[in-house]
């Protein structure tokens, strides 16, 4: 039993010696590593040597800044006349429920569904794609198809116009509040 303990101790010391000479343990100098914990964490994350939990951590699928995107806000605002089935900021898509106009007849039920796809966060003509789908039912026989209609271009134009107005208002608010503060220098009197 004593012999096994001695062999195990020698093997452990030898293994530690080998690991140390491989460079797994590196001496650290205070000049190389910041003393402040927040700075050290920030540096490690920038170099890809760590991860964070809880406060300050980024979580996949959590997009708290959707309300700051003027294109997204304008699309939701323009489509407020119909309930939404899916509004996924992370997926870049808004899908409405099927809806019908008031003048549909009893024989033919014609319903529409609108999909808005976001290609970019910039306010420009190719930043969004509006699709209109039509479902027409005649005596429980329903057919669904994508239709090219004037409604697509009208909705796209309305969304882009409203987004431009939102962006203009946001810029004005920034200029009136934060922008003024950043341009000033504070002089302390003793």
CA separation, residue 141 to residues 66, 73, 102, 108, 110 (Å):
40, 37, 21, 10, 12
Q: pTM for the full model?
A: 0.57
Domain segments of the chain as ranges:
66-175
Token pair 């590196």 in the structure block, residue: 26
CATH number of 66-175: 3.30.530
Note the pLDDT tens digit of each residue in 107-155. Answer: 458 899 999 999 988 898 899 999 999 998 888 888 999 998 899 999 9
Average pLDDT score over residue span 88-109: 77
Please tell me the distance from the alpha carbon of residue 131 to that of residue 120, in angstroms, as a whole number: 16
């Amino acid at each position: 039993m004593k012999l096994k303990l001695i062999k195990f101790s020698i093997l452990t010391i030898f293994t530690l010696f080998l690991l140390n000479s491989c460079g797994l343990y590196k001496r650290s100098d205070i000049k190389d590593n910041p003393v402040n914990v927040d700075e050290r964490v920030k540096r490690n994350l920038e170099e890809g040597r760590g991860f964070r939990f809880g406060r300050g951590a980024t979580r996949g699928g959590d997009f708290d800044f959707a309300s700051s995107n003027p294109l997204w806000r304008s699309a939701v605002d323009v489509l407020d006349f119909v309930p939404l089935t899916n509004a996924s900021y992370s997926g870049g898509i808004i899908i409405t429920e099927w809806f019908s106009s008031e003048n549909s007849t009893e024989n033919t039920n014609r319903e529409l569904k609108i999909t808005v796809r976001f290609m970019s966060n910039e306010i420009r003509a190719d930043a969004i794609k509006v699709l209109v789908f039509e479902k027409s039912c005649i005596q429980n026989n329903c057919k669904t198809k994508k239709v090219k209609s004037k409604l697509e271009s009208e909705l796209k134009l309305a969304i882009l116009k409203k987004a431009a107005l939102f962006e203009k208002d946001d810029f004005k608010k920034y200029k009136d509040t934060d922008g003024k503060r950043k341009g000033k220098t504070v002089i302390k009197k003793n």
